[in-house]
Structure 1
Amino acid sequence: MRKGSIPENLNSVAERIVTACRSCDRRAEDVTLLAVSKTRPAADLREAYGAGQRHFGENYLQEALDKQAELADCAITWHFIGPLQSNKTRDVAGHFHWMHTVERLKIARRLSEQRPADMPPLNVCLQVNIDGEDSKSGVSPEDLPELAAAVAALPNLQLRGLMAIPAPRGASEDQRTPFIQLATLLDALKSQLPDQPLDTLSMGMSGDMEAAIFSGATIVRIGTDIFGRRD
């Protein structure tokens, strides 16, 4: 169940972003709120859109495509934030503005090859397995520079930055550790690839958003605190 209405929850999250940014001398407008809308009906997305939300993140491809068709009248920026099989890259290449979970060159090549010629380059983030968890997807920090260089060379992709889903941690200080590590990796890539607009850190969710913003997040992925817990 939700604690409040979707517009009320969006407003509450926006206030948290402002407060977090003030605490670390950042501008709230430099942090994009990505509403994680997986499993939510299109009606919920439309309600959020009516309250001013424009960026939505989806994990499940067919569900996302169905929502896109139903919400075709809305000027939504669509982000794909789930794992992607190589046989499903064409739909992501043709229907999304952002792809956050690139972890293999094979996937990146297919996205570039299948991006329609009449669309701008697909914005991509490389997913990093920042904690080295066997259960998590993502490139290792050690292999990141090689993958980043290869993806940056692809013609129909725009390498924007990094994404991570760290292991849960309790205290805010502990939550910051992997986020700071990801920010450090992005700084290294900026030196390695100075011609790329590496301006994006996609990190932080409902439970650790403040720690992520403190550590430099530019996109925070919030689902539960907007739409409530999934059944």
Structure 2
Amino acid sequence: MNNAIYLALDFPTWEVTDQFLEDNQLHGVPVKVGMELFFREGPAIIEKLKANNHPIFLDLKLHDIPTTVMRAMKNLAALEVDIVNVHALGGSEMIKHAKEGLLSGSPKRKTKLIAVTILTSHDKETMNNQLLISGELKDSAVHLADIAEQSGADGVVCSVHEAGSIKEKCGSSFLTVTPGIRLANSSIDDQKRVATPKFARENNADILVIGRSITKAENPYQAYRQAIEEWENGAK
């Protein structure tokens, strides 16, 4: 098992998820649970995955007023997953309250809090013209990461393309969790800022999130092994 690679479980139900993991011998691999699966199955999905020894990144991207996020995070803390997240665009006070809720809700205090910078489905044009955030995308991602770090977050979700600059600003121990990962022979789908595992490793990513390159592959187990190979040794 490689704890740097989290498999995105973008499936509609636990039954489909469990079948996929069993059929492809992906027992105990680190996984990301997003809104689709969590909103269908609730906390029970986390307990089932933990029972099968899967490290878990719970990807709900909380973004609300500080008090609401704090109370929600206190409830999520009881699930004792490995990683949870909020949107950095919620601002410093929201991130601080999220961390407060996380610490107060879990006696073991092992869950990492990370903050989403700019979604990897966005590009500079979207950011400038639709979100009305001016400037370069990398500058905005680094700025949001700096706010997150100063507010108590353990890391950020960012594109691989911003990971190195974020490390320079926030320090080597500040986690960079990078979605938008595609194997060397995969399509980019609806992502804008993508990268291979090899490129991610070379550009200071700590954790990769990989979904469709594995889940839609003809042989998902082989694709997962390929991801590890590309991460550790580069594409062949």
Quickly name the TM-score band, shorter chain normalised. 0.5 to 0.7
Q: Which residue in the other structure is 2:18 paired with?
A: 43
**Equivalence for 2:203:** 215
2:165 corresponding residue in structure 1: 184
Shift in alpha-carbon separation, 1:83–1:45, aligned structure 2, 3 A: farther
Identity of counterpart residues, as a percentage? 10
Cα distance per residue 1:112-162 (max 9 Å; x no partner):
324424222421223222755246xx974334323321225xxxxxx1x33
Structure 1: runs of 5+ lacking an equivalent? 1-13, 15-28, 153-158, 166-178, 192-196
1:42 Cα offset (Å): 3.5
Higher relative contact order (CA 8 A, sep 6+): 1
1:102 to 1:71, Cα distance in 2 relative to 1, 3 A: same
CA distance 1:140–1:187, shift in 2 (3 Å): closer
- Out of 90, 99, 102, which is 2:84 matched to? 99
What is the alpha-carbon distance in structure 1 between the residues aligned to residue 175 and residue 141 of structure 2? 20
Matches within 5 A, 1:125-204: 125-129=114-118, 131=123, 133=127, 134=130, 140-151=141-152, 159=154, 161-165=155-159, 179-190=160-171, 197-204=173-180
- How far apart, in 2, do the equivalents of 1:188 and 1:143 lie? 11
Structure 1 contact 183–215 (Cα < 8 Å) conserved: yes
- Residue 56 to residue 141, structure 1, CA distance change in 2 (3 Å): same
TM-score normalised over the length of structure 2:
0.59
Partner-residue secondary structure (3-state), 1:162: strand
What CA RMSD, in Å, does the superposition of the two structures yield over aligned residues? 3.6
How far off its partner does 1:74 sit? 1.3
Letter in 2 for 1:55: P
AA in 1 matched with 2:201: I
Q: Structure 2 unaligned segments of length 5 or more: list them.
A: 132-136, 183-187, 189-194, 218-236
Matched, 1:78 2:56: yes
Tell me, yes or no, if the aligned pair for 1:58 and 1:64 is still in contact at 8 Å: no
Secondary structure at the counterpart of residue 75 of structure 1:
coil
Structure 1's consecutive aligned runs of 4 or more residues displaced over 6 angstroms after TM superposition are: none
Please report the TM-score for the alignment, with normalisation by the length of structure 1. Answer: 0.60
Shift of 1:102: 4.0
Change (3 A) 1:217 1:146: closer
Aligned residues: 176
